[in-house]
């Protein structure tokens, strides 16, 4: 098969180092941009979606923190109320115990005996104050029921009552 450049040999010029062509003058590649355009490019554009998402995230975080703080305040208030109620209960129980002991001491047998002896002028019972008395033997009444007036129904009823009692 013949190639279209069959008459040419290898081109060794492709493998040789290239010569730098000297240009009489270097081109200036610097582009001058007006100051207004530079300022405009430096400013970032407004990104409303990002701003709204930041605001919503901040609002949610503040809501969570606010709810937590509010719960802690409520918990503290309830704890203080509970402590105050417990203190009042303990004081009331103490007053009740004192009153109960005072009432018991006023109603004891020794106190009653001292009051009767000192205030009322009473004395303990002595043997010379005891007088025996005799009671008459009182009258006696006896009712006798005869079995003639009973029928079989009343006797059945009486036996049922007797079994149940």
Tell me, what's the pLDDT at 20?
A: 64
**Six token digits for residue 88:** 């009042």
Distance between CA atoms of residues 49 and 56, nearest Å: 11
**Six token digits for residue 133:** 């008395």
Percent pLDDT > 90 in the chain is 30
**Would you call 102 helix, strand, or coil by DSSP?**
helix
52 has a pLDDT exceeding 70: yes
pLDDT tens digits, 113-132: 888 889 888 888 888 888 88
Query: Is 85:79 a contact under the CB 8 Å cutoff?
Result: no
Tell me, what's the pLDDT at 5?
A: 55
Tell me, what's the pLDDT at 72?
A: 97
Query: Is 105:111 a contact under the CB 8 Å cutoff?
Result: yes
**Six token digits for residue 65:** 């923190």
Distance between CA atoms of residues 36 and 154, nearest Å: 130
Higher pLDDT, 161 or 20: 161
């Amino acid at each position: 098969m013949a190639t279209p450049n069959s008459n040419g040999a290898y081109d060794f010029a492709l493998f040789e180092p290239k010569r730098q062509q000297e240009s009489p003058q270097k081109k200036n590649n610097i582009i001058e941009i007006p100051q207004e355009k530079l300022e405009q490019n430096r400013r970032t554009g407004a990104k409303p979606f990002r701003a709204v998402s930041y605001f919503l995230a901040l609002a949610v975080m503040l809501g969570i923190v606010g709810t937590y703080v509010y719960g802690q305040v409520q918990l503290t208030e309830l704890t203080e109320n509970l402590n105050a109620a417990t203190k009042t209960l303990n004081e009331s129980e103490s007053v009740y115990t004192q009153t109960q002991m005072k009432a018991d001491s006023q109603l004891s047998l020794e106190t009653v005996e001292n009051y009767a002896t000192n205030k009322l002028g009473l004395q303990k019972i002595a043997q010379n104050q005891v007088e025996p008395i005799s009671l008459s033997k009182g009258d006696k009444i006896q009712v006798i029921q005869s079995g003639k007036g009973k029928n079989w129904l009343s006797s059945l009823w009486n036996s049922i009552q007797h079994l149940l009692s």
